[in-house]
Copies of this chain bind each other. A is one copy, B any other.
């Protein structure tokens, strides 16, 4: 069955068990795993490494987040000591915040460069999920471009997981491209969302491939986050804002290419675009989720470029049953290309990212709850927001059932600075911050975005800041800037 998926005869002799693969991994190694937002990550080999339990102090790099069969098992087995660039697994997050895993949070668009350049973190093994190996050793990933190309290039050795659950017919959906070195660059020739400039398979030195493990399992596919009332309200304000920009002649009716974060609010926005009659949409983004897939199938979205297809179990079935229709409309790229400033700026991307909290001046905390607790990572928000034609950040106005205000006097960690935040949206409204001074931003954010329960205390803080601040450009009360957070940590409510 798998033989036809390994087109090189030599390589067919390198099929091994997950246990044999795991035995090659030794303590202190640096491992590069494929995978981006729960798509395309290997499962059998990391589980076997964890079961074996002998390789300690592993440095684990990926494209972005993976699932329980990778981050989960390696963390629980206590084998992972360093992790980059992004994670969202409950166990790895816990270990990072307990201080047992050192996490290095990176712009996702720079991860391939880090893998290529970092002389202190040379990859011993690249462990890659694929659906096909070509005659000359070319690796065809499953549904994730990610950092796989850089890993296959740089690693001393390669282990493949050939996952038969994914169809080999995805051959052709990937566009693997490596930017030339400094001094030889002549621009990346992507001018439309689905322009193809690379190869369908990733070149790989056959000698480096030390084993191929056969699997047949979609694994722990992401759950489709249901759209709730708050998300729908946020999406409504955002879409109203886009319509007002169209009416003012600032955006075309088909919009510019969209980038969208993941989760409930992002799903609500894409569902809202469908319901609002938008047509000829495109995406230039990191992740295509179920909601975007439906726009593509329905013909409302013309084309999408991403670095991974992160689909629910039902979404995978939808994808494979429409594969012929979808293949010309979707391109999966390496994450340095999906997140490249040159392309994002050129295409005029409208970016929509999620905040954990925002402050009255429009600074965004995307990562560290209460300044210290890592959620997932900055992801691609910094790659996209700074280069966006229109940068939108969204958050429900409260968290934890209303005891936390997402709009605060000062964010406890800054990931996206106020200059990179054009519009801030909560379920109470959309604040257009462009061309406004800090004091003007404060007034509109408190009035438009803040939950009514916190509006009066926030006005009170702001007035004290105006009265007491060292200077009046960006008024702050340093003594009480974090008092809301301190109160939450002590008393369980802001």
Contacts and interface: CB of A to CB of B under 8 A. Distances in A.
A400 interface: no
Interface in A368-387: 368-374, 378, 382, 386-387
Contacts of A415: 417
A102 B346 contact: no
A96 interface: yes
A256 B185 CA distance: 13
Contact of A372 (B185, B370, B419, B476): B476
B182 A347 contact: yes
Interface string A21-42: 0000000000000000000000
Interface residues of A, number: 77
A171 interface: no
A186 B256 CA distance: 16
A472 B341 contact: no
A119 interface: yes
B474 A104 contact: no
A376 to B, nearest CB: 11
Interface string A466-494: 00011111111011011001100100000
A169 B347 CA distance: 38
Assembly stoichiometry (copies) = 2
Interface in A390-443: 412-415, 417, 419, 434-437, 439-440
A99 interface: yes
Nearest to A345: B341
A125 interface: no
A217 interface: no
A187 B183 CA distance: 16
B489 A485 contact: no
B372 A469 contact: yes
A307 to B, nearest CB: 18
A489 B478 contact: yes
A122 to B, nearest CB: 11
Given A371-B476, A435-B118, A414 B414 contact: yes
A363 interface: yes
Contact of A342 (B84, B341, B419): B341
Nearest to A104: B437
A330 to B, nearest CB: 21
A107 interface: yes
Contacts of A183: 348
Given A341-B341, A387-B341, A248 B417 contact: no
Contacts of A387: 341
Interface of A: 82, 84, 96-99, 102-107, 110, 114, 117-121, 182-183, 185-189, 191, 248, 250, 256, 340-342, 345-348, 363, 368-374, 378, 382, 386-387, 389, 412-415, 417, 419, 434-437, 439-440, 469-476, 478-479, 481-482, 485-486, 489
